[in-house]
């Protein structure tokens, strides 16, 4: 992005940017909604954050990679755990979040709502 002395910093933040589904670009190309990361007084890299709906897809894909198989192949208890994790991360505040999660889990929207309601009753 800028000088070669910045490479360790960029290397260090890249896994975080990748995890959130962001995009790294030179600071001089940053738009008003981008976040410029400053290191030792200078802008080193700009991070373009994803749209919320894209973030949910990214989170679901990361959960699949972590578990080593499609979320739809998990058992009921594991699917409930996924729903709890996603709720804690705000996934259901995204428009069509329930539908997106239901599709990834291979269940109906009604089932996702049941998983959410079970949590509130506990």
Q: What is the dihedral of CA 48, 49, 54, 57, to 10 degrees?
A: 110
pLDDT at residue 83 is higher than 80: yes
pLDDT at residue 2 is higher than 50: no
Round to whole Å and give the CA distance between 83 and 115.
7
Strands annotated E in 15-64? 23-25, 35-39, 42-48
| pLDDT 10s digits, 21-43 | 889 999 999 999 899 999 889 99
Q: Is the dihedral of CA 74, 80, 82, 86 positive or negative?
A: positive
């Amino acid at each position: 992005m800028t000088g070669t002395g910045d490479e360790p910093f960029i290397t260090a933040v890249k896994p975080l940017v990748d995890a959130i589904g962001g995009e790294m670009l030179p600071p001089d190309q940053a738009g008003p909604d981008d976040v410029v990361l400053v290191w030792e007084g200078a802008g080193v890299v700009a991070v373009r954050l994803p749209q919320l709906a894209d973030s949910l897809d990214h989170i679901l894909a990361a959960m699949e990679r972590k578990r080593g198989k499609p979320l739809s192949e998990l058992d009921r208890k594991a699917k409930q755990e996924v729903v709890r994790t996603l709720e804690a991360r705000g996934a259901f505040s995204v428009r069509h979040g329930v539908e997106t999660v239901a599709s990834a889990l291979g269940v109906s929207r009604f089932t996702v709502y049941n998983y959410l309601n079970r949590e509130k009753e506990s």
